[in-house]
Amino acid sequence: MCIVFSMGDFALLTGVNTMTDFPDIDSHKWNAYFNAAHTMKKNGGGFAEAIAEAYYKADGANKAKLESAFKDLFLSFMSDYDRAWFGK
């Protein structure tokens, strides 16, 4: 079970063990993508919101596909702190 707590511009995800549920993704980068999806849903247009919803529902393999296909979109909704994990 996955529970999302929203606090202002940030979200906290519980019920997911990033080391076992998403072993190929560095946890900092995964959190950056998750925070970007939260901001996309909150402040983005219809397309960004739809991608965020798909990201929430996707399994690890499909999350990676969304991250790859829409990397620029995710980066545009990341905070400077989160974007730094990607060298941007």
29-65 residue pLDDT tens:
889 999 999 999 999 999 999 999 999 999 989 999 9
H-assigned helices in 1-88 = 18-21, 27-43, 46-57, 60-69, 71-76, 80-83
Amino acid 26: pLDDT: 72
Q: How many domains does the chain have?
A: 1
- Smallest CA-to-CA distance from 27 within 13, 37, 10, 41 is with 13
User: Could you tell me if residue 9 is inside a domain?
Assistant: no
Q: Does residue 65 lie within any of the structural domains?
A: yes
In a domain, 30, yes or no: yes
* pLDDT in the model for residue 16: 53
pLDDT at 11: 55
Mean pLDDT of the residues in the chain: 81
Q: Which long-range CB contacts under 8 A does 57-60 form with residues at least 24 apart?
A: 60/21, 60/22, 60/24, 60/25
If one compares 82 and 87, the residue with the highest pLDDT of the two is 82
Range of the domain at 35: 24-86
pLDDT at 7: 55
